[in-house]
Structure 1
Amino acid sequence: MFPDAWEFHVAQYVNDGVDWLLVRFAPAFDSISVFISSVLSGIQSSLEMVPWWAYIIAVALGVWLATGKKKSAVILAAFTFCIGLFGLWGLALETLSIIITSVLISLLLGIPLGVMTAEFPRGTAFMKPLLDGMQTMPSFVYLIPAMMFFGLGKVPAVFATLIYSMPPVIRLTTLGLRQVPKPAQEAAIAYGATRWQLLKEVRLPLAMPGIMAGINQTTMMALAMVVVCAMIGARGLGQEVLLSINRIDIGRGFESGISIVIMAIVIDRITQGLGKRWEPKRR
């Protein structure tokens, strides 16, 4: 056994640090909470204003336009209709609002960070271990700082989902920019392109397949946090899964679980289809 005399605990220092942050930056955390809550409420209100049948049509059109496959569009639209048949339509919209909010903030922060990491390679030394830690940390751990700083509810759920889902878009944006062919960049420089023009007109368009893959993975990881965030009061479909586990209600768990799977498949097919449109055509 490890000697008891050698034990050294950092828990008290961590608690003291968190208490200091809460006291020192309480107004900042309140402002962030109000901002996220207002964005979330606006998105959820907008989603609830749309008739259910419009979503079915939108899914069918979105899948068809993204993939070009009519059969897939009809099948996924029928699957989406099943969410309503299960009586989970309202909860699905709550879940969708959390996902949209988390993904939008993740992209607003992640894509610029990915560009900066690609433009300034020295930043990789800082970003790589940080992203490694964010991706290897168990998802339940993200609930701890979320609850400490924002309490319970949908706001900490968005915060936890944001941290968990951001690394893929940062990594794949950086990778996409670094894989832009050198001849294309050299040709642009030869024509007098500035560094900003090179980034805007050449590197970003050619890196779009990688960036779209990052958006896809970020969305999928946000969906993966749905059930976990239900533990801190996020409601939505995750709450139904959690209740079915607590009550050992297999049928209820199946309905809510398959509804999450349907949402994931629909989003995955649409984002993948859009990503393929940016890929260069092969001769």
Structure 2
Amino acid sequence: MDPISQFIADWKIPIGAWGKEFFDFLTTNFSWFFDRLSDGLKSLLESLIDLMLWIPPVVLVILIMALAWWLQKSWRLAVAVAVGLLFIINQGLWRETVETLVLVVAATAVSMAIGVPIGIWAAHNPRVYRVLHPLLDLMQTMPTFVYLIPVLILFGLGIAPGLIVTVIFAMPSPIRLTYLGITSVPKPMIEAGQAFGATKRQLLWKVEFPSALPTIMAGLTQCIMLSLSMVVIAALIGANGLGKPVVRALNSVNIPLGVEAGLAIVIVAIILDRICRIGEAK
């Protein structure tokens, strides 16, 4: 190494040590908060999983099939959903699929509940978006495995940390697309609403939100796909679901198990994507 590079390397900034001190401070002073949050989320998620597993699998398949038909008015989609879920039952991966569905739906719901209001706020306040923009860029370019480290330190192993890391990973998508949808509303529509005396709240709910809904729904489908991908990775920190058989298959080079779990993940992803799309009813 040349002298200049060696000098720079010798004066290494101790960013890693600072990070350790920061997390030590959090775990020392706020471990009670993280423990209670983790325990509460764990109880809620496990209750939902137990409820879905209490329902006979075939009955739950029929309910999901009916939901698909009700949302999309497509009997072909309903039949495809039923065939896909019955295939998962046939492969012996029903429990893992239910655990994955609960985690994905919960993470998507939380991400949308947080992301959509933040996106609306950023669309109406340029200063907020200027602050959020680099943070969203950082969150969307950071490797997925990096998210596991702080969550593991603060919350430990289990299903609750899997939910938390999934929410953090998926949330930038609804924020960005909600911002894009609101800022893309044609100005003549807003001016027409103002001309009729609409308040800011009325403009939001009756003009901006309906116009931006397709873009917001695109954020929903992206959020679902991101949640599903992170739920699989979160198996490394103890989150149950289809990620566990994938990890077992990798560790033991079990090709049949890997193929079965991989197909189950693809089926779940396609089902969730098709059900949540709008404007595709046949």
Q: TM-score range by the shorter chain?
A: over 0.9
SS in 1 for 2:14: coil
- In structure 1, C-alpha distance between the alignment counterparts of 2:15 and 2:29, rounded to whole Å: 21
Unpaired segments of 5 or more residues in structure 2?
none
Give the conservation status (yes or no) of the 8 Å contact 1:111–1:173: yes
TM-score, normalised to structure 1's length?
A: 0.92
User: Structure 1 residue 276 and structure 2 residue 279: aligned?
Assistant: yes
The corresponding residue for 1:49 is 54
Q: CA deviation at 1:7?
A: 2.5
For 1:206 and 1:70, how far apart are their aligned partners in 2?
28
2:211 matched residue in structure 1: 206
User: What CA distance in whole angstroms lies between the structure 2 residues aligned with 1:51 and 1:191?
Assistant: 54
**1:116–1:277 Cα change, 3 Å:** farther
Q: Which moved more, 1:99-108 or 1:157-166?
A: 99-108
**1:93 aligned residue (84, 95, 98):** 98
Report how far residue 91 of structure 1 moved.
Answer: 1.1
Shift of 1:267: 0.2
Q: Residues 50 and 260 of structure 1: is their aligned pair in 2 closer, same or farther, counting only changes over 3 Å? A: same
Q: Name which of 8, 29, 33 aligns with 1:28.
A: 33
Question: Unaligned stretches of 5+ in structure 1?
Answer: 279-283
Query: In the alignment, which residue of structure 1 is the partner of 2:260?
Result: 255
Q: CA offset at residue 103 of structure 1? A: 1.3
Distance 1:31 1:119, change over 3 A: farther
Could you tell me whether the CA contact under 8 Å between 1:59 and 1:266 is conserved in 2?
no
Work out the CA distance in 1 between the residues paired with 2:231 and 2:36.
24
- 2:113 maps to 108
Q: Give me the identity figure in percent.
A: 39
Superposition deviation, residue 259 in structure 1 = 0.4
C-alpha distance after superposition, 1:63-83 (max 9, x if no partner): 334444323321231111010
- The partner residue of 1:156 within 141, 154, 161 is 161
Counterpart CA distance in 1 for 2:280 and 2:200 is 26
Structure 2 residue matching 1:225: 3-state secondary structure: helix
Residues 65-76 of structure 1: pairs in structure 2 closer than 5 A: 65-76=70-81
| Counterpart AA for 1:22 | T
2-structure distance, mates of 1:277, 1:85: 29
Separation in structure 2 between the aligned mates of residue 216 and residue 39 of structure 1, nearest angstrom: 24
Cα deviations across residues 122-146 of structure 1 (Å, max 9, x unaligned)? Answer: 1111111111111111100010011
Q: 1:277 to 1:121 in 2, by over 3 A?
A: farther
Asked if the contact 1:91–1:236 (Cα under 8 Å) also holds between the matched residues in 2, the reply is: yes
Cα displacement string for residues 43-64 of structure 1 (whole angstroms, at most 9, x for unaligned residues): 2233223221123223333333
CA distance in 1, matches of 2:108, 2:152: 20
Amino acid at match of 2:202: Q
Change (3 A) 1:61 1:28: same
Are 2:135 and 1:130 aligned? yes
1:236 matched residue in structure 2: 241
User: Does 2:216 align with 1:194?
Assistant: no
Structure 1 runs (4+) deviating above 6 angstroms are: none
Q: How far apart, CA to CA, are the structure 2 residues paired with 1:34 and 1:44?
A: 15
Conservation of the 8 A alpha-carbon contact between 1:118 and 1:174: yes
Look up the equivalent residue of 2:230 and give its one-letter code. M
1:23 Cα deviation after fit: 1.8
Distance 1:46 1:85 in 2: 21
| Distance of 2:37 and 2:208 partners within structure 1 | 33
Alpha carbons of 1:88 and 1:277: their partners in 2 closer, same or farther (altered >3 Å)? closer
Q: Is the 8 A contact 2:234 2:243 kept in 1?
A: yes
The whole-number CA distance in structure 1 between the counterparts of 2:274 and 2:146 is 30
Partner AA of 1:276 in structure 2: G
- Tell me if the contact between 1:43 and 1:101 (Cα under 8 Å) persists in the aligned partners: no
Q: Equivalents in 2 of 1:155, 1:139: separation in Å?
A: 17
The Cα of 1:277 is off from its aligned counterpart by 6.8
Displacement after TM superposition at 1:24 (Å) = 2.2
What is the CA distance between 1:226 and its match in structure 2?
2.4
